[in-house]
Chain A
Amino acid sequence: MSMLEICGLSKSFGGLFAVEALDLAIGEGELWALLGPSGCGKTTLLRLLGGFESPDAGEIRLGGVRIDHEPPNRRACNMIFQRYALFPHLDVLGNVSFGLELKKLARAEIHRRASEALELVELSGFEKRKVSSLSGGQQQRVAIARALVMQPRVLLLDEPLAALDLKLRQKMQVELKRLQRRLGITFILVTHDQEEALTLADRICVMNAGRIEQVGAPETVYSWPETSFVAGFIGTANAFSGTSRGAGSAPETVAVDCGALGVLEVPTRVPAQFPAGTAVQVVLRPEHLRLVPEPGDLVFQGKLTDVLFKGAEYELLCAPVVAGMPAVVVRCDRSVAVPGAAVTLAFAARDARLVPRGA
């Protein structure tokens, strides 16, 4: 049994579903990312878990016990708020010991646990500082210490790194991941940043319009997207329309008629999902398109429209010559041509992925 179980959870605001009939099982000590565009319901889900919203339907169980109608002060979950919500009238120590004082613990015990938490986030010596005098990253750490000192079973983080600049965000990503591994507490974090989700999480739950699109390990979600939304939201996807012709010659492949591109045998984990006649999308990551064909590659012609320098690599935007084919993005290590040049684009069918079209 999973530690945190969500069953048929729904919440609507003014007749619109923010979260609709959601099922999710979260294990002990896992680091989850709820990923999706703004308005997809990820923050509502987090607030439902924290007890700041009450669900219209469904259940939340923590360790087998229903908690969905418990107020936040009676749940073994603690929340890191997006803008940290530190108490401005208290100093760092006052913030961290706030929850312990409410528990009416002994002075010495409060002090010991608060100091430990501050040490954990490397803020020893900051006890008497005003929170307004701290930098964004330090405030973030105080918020983490304030939540961890309560020894929660689940730590909820609402866009924890969104307010930090890029460098600090990357540093905090590593720190958060290390902290989570060391403490073994379940972390559930909300983010709209797909890179952050891929970097941090053990499990990603991709949400769109109040529903779960896909749940899986970061590698799986990236390499085997199940819907066109997931393919488009995580990483860059070049998508071609096609029609299934049923099972391919190799196991776990489907033959797809891509019109001018020919018939491709595309691998999939669920061939049964694409019976003959199904409208599909063939998805290709930019790193799988190349300008120099290898044996067995599918080849098509295009025109280079833009060259974008990305530091470690270049991104080439190409318009395929084939009518009706959308523009594609190619990633390569050097700029090979100038905009306007004709290019040959190639890929291996085994690198392509299938998702249902339309839905």
Chain B
Amino acid sequence: MSGRSRGAWLAVPLSLWLLVFLAAPLAVVFAYSFFRRGAYGQVEVSFQLGNYARVFDPLYLGIFWKSAQMAVSVTAAVFVLGLPLALALARAPARWRTPLMTLLMTPFLSNFVVRAYAIKVLLGIEGPVAALAGGVSYSDSAGAVWLGMLTNYLPFMVLPLYVALERFDFTLVEAAKDLGASDRLALWRVILPGIRVGIVSGALLVFVPALGEFLIPDLLGGARTMLLGNLVTEQFLKARDWPFGAALVMLLVVTMTFCFMGQKRLERAEASRG
């Protein structure tokens, strides 16, 4: 057996796993998206594009648009907050880095629901924010959802940025300053282009799950905040309209696929640059 085919065998377990638990269910969902909901919520096998037509209903497009806005603004915010943090981590003395990274990861040691409820209490009518804001509760709002996503997704942005910055050659910043750049210009013209790949992976790691997020809006948004993820869960769990839910899922899958294709293109361009 040649070395090459032996290497290929190593990929079999994971390929099987992906086939059974990702590709197959996705195929089922794809098939469902052409089916029809029966009068009692049962699924009737058929082939029709009605579910896709419904996706473009202004009501649902509006929800998609709101979700995209939320995901984009969360991604932008975690980038703005995460970049200084990642810079500080990457520039910290080596013996400080591991403890600081551990600190960044500690939230994951607690249950997500507990953390969500902590935010709820913090923003709630009896919480400190309300006390400062004169008795106004900010829980059960789009703002609370945004804040929840922010805290939850921050590490996903910081990690790829940190990895990129750790590999970044900071003498380039000195060179830029030597040529007349201020700190701000050195950041814009040298650091950010230099860690592009890290920025894009961080952005995708946040944007993609944020676009489909349903748990955070469920816990923190109250009944007022309906995002794409909630709409999908609603179709499957409450409205019992699996075919329409499947069509919505396909919309998400296609959006995300485009995102990842964009990332791969950038990475290839970066690799060819050496």
> What residues make up the interface of A, taking CB atoms closer than 8 Å to B?
50-52, 71-73, 77-79, 81, 83, 85-89, 98-99, 102-103, 130, 132-133, 146-147, 150
Q: Is there an interface contact between B180 and A102, defined as CB atoms closer than 8 Å? A: yes
The reply to whether the CB of B190 lies closer than 8 angstroms to some CB of chain A is yes
Q: Is there an interface contact between A85 and B194, defined as CB atoms closer than 8 Å? A: no
8 Å CB interface, B172-212 against A: 172, 174-182, 185, 189-190, 193-194, 196
- Contact residue among B169, B174, B193 (Cβ-Cβ distance under 8 Å from A52): B174
Measured in the bound complex, the distance between the Cα atoms of B177 and A73 in whole Å is 5
Q: Is there an interface contact between A102 and B190, defined as CB atoms closer than 8 Å? A: no
Residues of A within 8 A of B177 (CB): 51, 71-73
Please tell me the number of chain B residues within 8 Å of chain A, measured between CB atoms: 20
Measured in the bound complex, the distance between the Cα atoms of B190 and A50 in whole Å is 19
Q: Is there an interface contact between B185 and A88, defined as CB atoms closer than 8 Å? A: no
Q: Is there an interface contact between A87 and B171, defined as CB atoms closer than 8 Å? A: no
Residues of A within 8 A of B179 (CB): 73, 78, 98-99, 102, 146-147, 150
- Contact residue among B169, B181, B194, B196 (Cβ-Cβ distance under 8 Å from A73): B181
The reply to whether the CB of B273 lies closer than 8 angstroms to some CB of chain A is yes
Q: Is there an interface contact between B274 and A132, defined as CB atoms closer than 8 Å? A: yes
Measured in the bound complex, the distance between the Cα atoms of B175 and A71 in whole Å is 12
Residues of A within 8 A of B190 (CB): 87
7 A-B pairs (CB sep. < 8 Å): A71-B177, A72-B174, A73-B177, A79-B175, A83-B171, A85-B169, A132-B274
Q: Which residue of A lies closest to B192 (CB)?
A: A89
Measured in the bound complex, the distance between the Cα atoms of B180 and A81 in whole Å is 15
Q: Is there an interface contact between A89 and B181, defined as CB atoms closer than 8 Å? A: no
Q: Is there an interface contact between A81 and B174, defined as CB atoms closer than 8 Å? A: yes
| Distance between A78 CB and nearest chain B CB, rounded to angstroms | 6
Q: Is there an interface contact between A88 and B194, defined as CB atoms closer than 8 Å? A: yes
Measured in the bound complex, the distance between the Cα atoms of B185 and A72 in whole Å is 14
Q: Is there an interface contact between A132 and B273, defined as CB atoms closer than 8 Å? A: yes
Residues of A within 8 A of B181 (CB): 73, 102
- Contact residue among A77, A85, A89, A133 (Cβ-Cβ distance under 8 Å from B175): A85
Residues of B within 8 A of A132 (CB): 273-274
Residues of B within 8 A of A51 (CB): 177-178
Measured in the bound complex, the distance between the Cα atoms of B193 and A103 in whole Å is 20
Measured in the bound complex, the distance between the Cα atoms of B194 and A150 in whole Å is 23
| Distance between B270 CB and nearest chain A CB, rounded to angstroms | 9
Measured in the bound complex, the distance between the Cα atoms of B4 and A59 in whole Å is 64
Q: Which residue of A lies closest to B171 (CB)?
A: A85
Residues of A within 8 A of B174 (CB): 52, 72, 79, 81, 85
Q: Which residue of A lies closest to B272 (CB)?
A: A130
Q: Which residue of A lies closest to B169 (CB)?
A: A85
Q: Which residue of B lies closest to A75 (CB)?
A: B178
Residues of B within 8 A of A72 (CB): 174, 177-178
| Distance between B187 CB and nearest chain A CB, rounded to angstroms | 13
Measured in the bound complex, the distance between the Cα atoms of B274 and A133 in whole Å is 8
Q: Is there an interface contact between B273 and A103, defined as CB atoms closer than 8 Å? A: no
Measured in the bound complex, the distance between the Cα atoms of B181 and A99 in whole Å is 8
Residues of A within 8 A of B194 (CB): 87-89
Q: Which residue of B lies closest to A83 (CB)?
A: B171
Q: Is there an interface contact between B273 and A87, defined as CB atoms closer than 8 Å? A: no
Residues of B within 8 A of A99 (CB): 179-180
| Distance between B174 CB and nearest chain A CB, rounded to angstroms | 6
Q: What are the 10 closest A-B residue pairs judged by CB atoms, nearest first?
A: A99-B179, A132-B274, A85-B175, A89-B193, A85-B171, A102-B180, A72-B177, A73-B180, A79-B178, A73-B177
* Chain B window 137-178, contacts with chain A (Cβ cutoff 8 Å), 1 for yes, 0 for no: 000000000000000000000000000000001011011111
Q: Is there an interface contact between B274 and A130, defined as CB atoms closer than 8 Å? A: yes
Q: Which residue of B lies closest to A96 (CB)?
A: B179
- Contact residue among A85, A89, A102 (Cβ-Cβ distance under 8 Å from B185): A102
Measured in the bound complex, the distance between the Cα atoms of B171 and A51 in whole Å is 13
Measured in the bound complex, the distance between the Cα atoms of B178 and A152 in whole Å is 11
| Distance between B254 CB and nearest chain A CB, rounded to angstroms | 31
Measured in the bound complex, the distance between the Cα atoms of B176 and A103 in whole Å is 12
Measured in the bound complex, the distance between the Cα atoms of B178 and A52 in whole Å is 9
Measured in the bound complex, the distance between the Cα atoms of B171 and A72 in whole Å is 13
8 Å CB interface, B13-49 against A: none
Measured in the bound complex, the distance between the Cα atoms of B255 and A115 in whole Å is 45
Q: Which one of B169, B172, B179, B273 has the greatest number of beta carbons of chain A within 10 Å? A: B179
